[in-house]
């Protein structure tokens, strides 16, 4: 646990990733994401942002709820959405097992990997095609329960300090695990404070920031994920919730219980977040929940969250990338009674 798996990029991928961002030619785009496509695999010639323009980056976070079980979905999803940086949670594999399962297919796609795993529970990983520097696993000062758990990995990717985090569940308010959760978030806050102006904290935070982030707030009274101390601990990180900023009024969830009908009736919660420092939040061109990945056979109970960043202020600004499907406002429904 807490070891780095660093895959060398395939020939051309590391250098080409840098070159593509400084010289976005149509030929280079074809080499990177296939002929006849534009930014992020969208049809060419429709005004999408050029994938290679300097500084642009697509970041995604996804609680896969077992990377081994989700592998048949994960790899096609990487090909379709073409994220530059991916934060995974609940990988549920040791580092050696993660390496054995994913080293080859991820290297083929140009990703470097930093993983922090356990055999049955927890586990996080960072995949990057834009560099993976200064990797740190765990959160300094965070307590264990009772021992350190595989809940965080951070690295500098494309000039941004990126965290993949799986925050403790908390179980029941006022329990030892709940206090562990709050202490863990406090330790994360102290670490993030020292990371400068370009920070992204991505992952399953196990906190719904506001009542709008649960399908029926009354159903959650007295439970974790919605208590005032949890919400205050997330707010105290001092970062901006970029999905909610893009969709301030819409009904947007990221997690739906596996029970029949919960997803189809949109009885969910928004607990998977992308939290950004001001400098990074100012670069957000699009932020959305990939509901398609929650559909079909054998999905995770979480959907990925995807954020597209424009160039840094000294870069060349291109058109904004719209989300393929924007979240829609849906009617409020009550929790089914058993």
* 180 catalytic residue (yes or no): no
- Residue 84 marked as a ligand binder: no
The rounded distance, in Å, linking the Cα atoms of 181 and 103 is 32
Residue 39, helix vs strand vs coil = helix
- Residue 177 marked as a ligand binder: no
- φ, ψ at 282 (rounded to 5°): -70, -15
- Residue 65 marked as a ligand binder: no
- Residue 90 marked as a ligand binder: yes
* 302 catalytic residue (yes or no): yes
DSSP string of 90-153? Answer: ---S-HHHHHHHHHHHHHHTT-EEEEE--SSS--EEEEESS--EEEEES-TT---SSS--S-EE
User: Of the listed 166, 178, 180, 255, which one is catalytic?
Assistant: 166
User: Of the listed 16, 111, 178, 302, which one is catalytic?
Assistant: 302
- Residue 198 marked as a ligand binder: no
Task: Please choose, from the candidates 12, 94, 84, the residue with its C-alpha nearest in 3D space to the C-alpha of residue 55.
Answer: 84
* 40 catalytic residue (yes or no): no
- Residue 302 marked as a ligand binder: yes
The rounded distance, in Å, linking the Cα atoms of 194 and 115 is 22
User: Of the listed 16, 84, 99, 204, which one is catalytic?
Assistant: 204
The rounded distance, in Å, linking the Cα atoms of 36 and 79 is 15
Which active-site residues does the annotation give?
A: 166, 204, 302
Q: Can you say which residues are annotated as belonging to the binding site for Mg(2+)?
A: 63, 90, 204, 206, 301-302
Please state the residue numbers annotated as binding site.
63, 90, 204, 206, 301-302
């Amino acid at each position: 646990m807490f070891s780095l798996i660093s895959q060398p990029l395939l020939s051309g991928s590391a250098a080409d990733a840098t070159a593509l961002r400084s010289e976005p030619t149509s030929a280079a785009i074809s080499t990177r994401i296939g002929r006849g496509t534009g930014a992020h695999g969208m049809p060419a010639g429709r005004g999408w942002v050029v994938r290679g323009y300097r500084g642009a980056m697509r970041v995604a976070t996804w609680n896969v709820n077992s990377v081994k079980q989700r592998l048949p979905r994960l790899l096609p999803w990487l090909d379709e959405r073409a994220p530059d940086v991916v934060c995974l949670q609940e990988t549920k594999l040791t580092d050696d097992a993660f390496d054995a399962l994913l080293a080859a297919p991820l290297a083929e796609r140009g990703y470097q990997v930093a993983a922090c795993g356990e055999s049955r529970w927890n586990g996080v990983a960072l995949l990057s095609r834009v560099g993976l520097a200064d990797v740190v696993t765990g959160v300094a000062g965070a307590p264990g329960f009772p021992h350190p758990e595989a809940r965080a990995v951070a690295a500098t990717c494309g000039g941004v300090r990126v965290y993949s985090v799986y925050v403790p569940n908390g179980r029941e308010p006022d329990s030892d695990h709940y206090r562990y959760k709050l202490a863990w978030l406090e330790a994360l806050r102290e670490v993030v404070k020292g990371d400068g102006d370009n920070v992204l904290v991505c992952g399953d935070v196990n906190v719904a920031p506001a009542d709008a982030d649960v399908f029926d707030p009354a159903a959650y009274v007295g439970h974790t994920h919605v208590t005032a101390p949890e919400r205050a601990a997330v707010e105290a990180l001092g970062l901006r919730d970029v999905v909610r900023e893009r969709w301030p009024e819409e009904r947007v969830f990221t997690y739906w219980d596996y029970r029949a009908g919960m997803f189809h009736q949109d009885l969910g919660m928004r607990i998977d977040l992308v939290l950004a420092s001001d400098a990074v939040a100012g670069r957000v061109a699009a932020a959305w929940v990939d509901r398609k990945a929650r559909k079909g056979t054998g999905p995770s109970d979480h959907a990925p969250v995807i954020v597209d960043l424009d160039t840094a202020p000294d870069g060349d600004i291109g058109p904004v990338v719209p989300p393929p499907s924007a979240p829609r406002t849906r009617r409020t429904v009550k929790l089914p009674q058993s």
